Structure 1
Amino acid sequence: MTTRRRLPWSAALLACWALVGSCLAGPSKYCPDGGPIRFAHYEFGLIFNRRSGTGIDDDIQRELAQRTGCRFEVSLQPRARSWTDLESGNLDMLGSGVQNPQRDRFAWYAHYVVEINKVLLADSVPDHVTSLAEFEAAKDLRMGTVRSFSFGPFYDAAMVRLQAAGRLDQVGDTEAVFRMFAAGRFHAFVSSQFVYGHYVKQLGLKTPRRVENWDADPGTPSGLTLSKKRFSAEQAAAWQLLVQSMLDDGTVRRILVQYMGEAEADASLYRAKRR
């Protein structure tokens, strides 16, 4: 016959608090103090569709909430505002953020997809214009873009030059770019595989005759973006490891396949360079 030893009341209370503390220790490496994580979506085709309230980033965010136990406060914002709010500390996290030196000052990153950006060209663009240099040389041609979007160093530098020349039209969201392009407001714009097929179909637009890849780089990494005003370096490292685990266990690929099919999903999946 075995006997159970009873702990003194004070020892039992301490054991209870130790157990609670151990349960809280896991999420605390992810969840910052001061309330829920303020997460913003933006309208971007398969990444997030405001009409359906669904998309790749929505599935990613829900998976992150489930794995970390953190509370989220989710909103939909114009992309320019979300970057401003992230920098000021009025927003904590974004999905599908593209890294650049300016944003490195206020954000941490955990990439999970690669954007393959291509140029959509109007029928009025001469056939001999087959590169960004040739487009810029044709002084009567204009480019459209979404305010605050980044497409990687190659296209971003061209946007700066075109804006300085008064040849860049900037709008508030991706859907507006497609509508203005269809209306002939500008001659070309840059878009990714997550976007152009989706909006051509959704808006009932004519498929552009020319969709060309003018950037020699393989693609632009994009992913979870965290505010340095809300997350410490240690917390950011934990989120980066978490996102990598979702890549390693096939979760991100499964989400991409649901929206894009297997071939496009495999081409869009971020693969970190191993040291």
Structure 2
Amino acid sequence: MKTRLFTLPIIILCFSTVVSAKDCGRRFRIIVNNYAPLFDVNNEGHVYGMTFDFMNELSHRLGCVVSQAPMDAPRMHDDFKNWRADIVGLVIPSEKFRASGEYVPVYTTVRKLLVNKAYYDPSRTVADYIKDGRIKFGDQIGTSFFLKPDEKSQLFGSGRIVEYPNPAIGYRQVASGRVQAMFTSPVVYNYYQKAIPAFVQNVVAVPDPKYEMQGGIYLSLRRISKSEAEQIKKAISDMKKDGTLRRIVAKYASAEDMNYYKDL
């Protein structure tokens, strides 16, 4: 199915079976990425995704009502810094969120380098592709979180970054050869290699175990109290201890790529 771009928040009410939403007395507004496989709507109108499932489970354990508002990265940054949301996630650590929130890590994984087969060479390293002046990289507007600072400086400085509003466009561009490479996460890669038929035939995915990155959430410094923050952290810790977090991620990552997901 096609990835949807949401212009209005979708409100999802989730109640705990242990503690009622009334007992919690709190409604959390959570802003999330608006693309599959993190948050999307299928052809039957049902919302699904790794972030969606994670936030639902968090709501269940807290016994609170949550509204999940899907949006693109620039809007996420704006909403959070202007105190219009309690939580943002799942996201990679970012300076744009740090000033307004406390970061709580949820898992660790690696990035994947996607290379159009016309430019792929198994003897080359990730650094070799970065240095190759022939290769343009796709990148999502408002993110650049898959790039190291020196890589970002080199690619932007040489005009070798093509920005796009969502991953679906980037995946189609690298599959068609309009850009020659891009970085992504294992979960997003697992989704698009199935969603875009030409992808597997035209693109090679190279894991980069040397580049570890965290996925987590930011808690608003102004809207989340210290006691609420501790409850949220405990709920996440409990999700790891009882295997729930691993089961959620395993729904969206391939069995092979689960080896790259740590701290679950």
What TM-score results when the alignment is normalised by the length of structure 2? 0.79
1:193-224 superposed Cα distances (whole Å, 9 cap, x missing partner): 1011211211222314422234514x211122
Whichever residue aligns with residue 49 of structure 1, its letter is D
Which of the numbers 231, 247, 253 marks the counterpart of 2:240?
247
Aligned residue type for 2:234: L
Return the offset for 1:178. Answer: 0.8
Asked if 1:200 corresponds to 2:220, the answer is no
SS in 2 for 1:195: helix
Q: Which has the higher strand share?
A: 2
Q: How does 1:64-83 map to 2 (within 5 A)?
A: 64-83=58-77
In structure 2, runs of 5+ residues without a counterpart are 1-19
Q: Within 1, Cα distance between the matches of 2:261 and 2:122?
A: 30
CA distance in 2, matches of 1:98, 1:116: 11
TM-superposed deviation, 1:40: 2.1
Of the three residues 29, 35, 38, the one matched with 1:38 is 29
Among candidates 139, 142, 150, match of residue 148 of structure 1: 142
1:137 to 110, 131, 136: 131
The alignment partner of 1:259 has SS state of coil
Runs of 4+ with >6 A deviation: 23-26
Is residue 27 from structure 1 mapped to residue 24 from structure 2 by the alignment?
yes
Structure 1 counterpart of 2:5: none
Aligned residue among 119, 122, 125 for 1:125: 119
Letter in 2 for 1:201: K
Question: Can you list the C-alpha shifts for 1:131-167, whole angstroms capped at 9, x where unaligned?
Answer: 3432233222111011223545x53541233112211
Identity of aligned residues (%): 20
* Alignment of 1:53 onto 2:47: yes
Tell me whether 86-95 or 164-173 shows the greater mean CA deviation: 86-95
Alignment pair present for 1:178 and 2:178 = no
Contact persistence 1:253–1:269 (CA under 8 A): no
Give the direction of change, closer, same or farther, for the CA distance of 1:49–1:115 in structure 2 (3 Å limit).
farther
Three-state SS of the structure 1 residue aligned to 2:24 is helix
| Change in 2 beyond 3 A, CA 1:266/1:239 | farther
Structure with the greater alpha carbon radius of gyration: 1
In structure 2, the CA distance between the partners of 1:251 and 1:83, relative to structure 1 (3 Å rule), is: same
Which residue among 180, 184, 190 is the counterpart of 1:191? 184
Residue 74 of structure 1 deviates from its aligned partner by: 1.8
Tell me, which stretches of 5 or more residues in structure 1 are unaligned? 1-22
**Paired residues of 1:93 and 1:226 also in contact (CA < 8 A):** yes
Root-mean-square deviation over aligned CA pairs: 2.8
The answer to whether the Cα contact below 8 Å between 1:151 and 1:220 also exists between their aligned partners in 2 is no
Contact 1:45 1:194 in 2 (8 A): no
C-alpha distance in 1, partners of 2:207/2:145?
12
Partner SS state of residue 40, structure 2: coil
Q: Which residue of 2 aligns with 1:256?
A: 249
State the 1:257 CA deviation: 3.0
Match of 2:225 among 220, 228, 232: 232
Any idea what SS the aligned residue of 2:199 has? coil
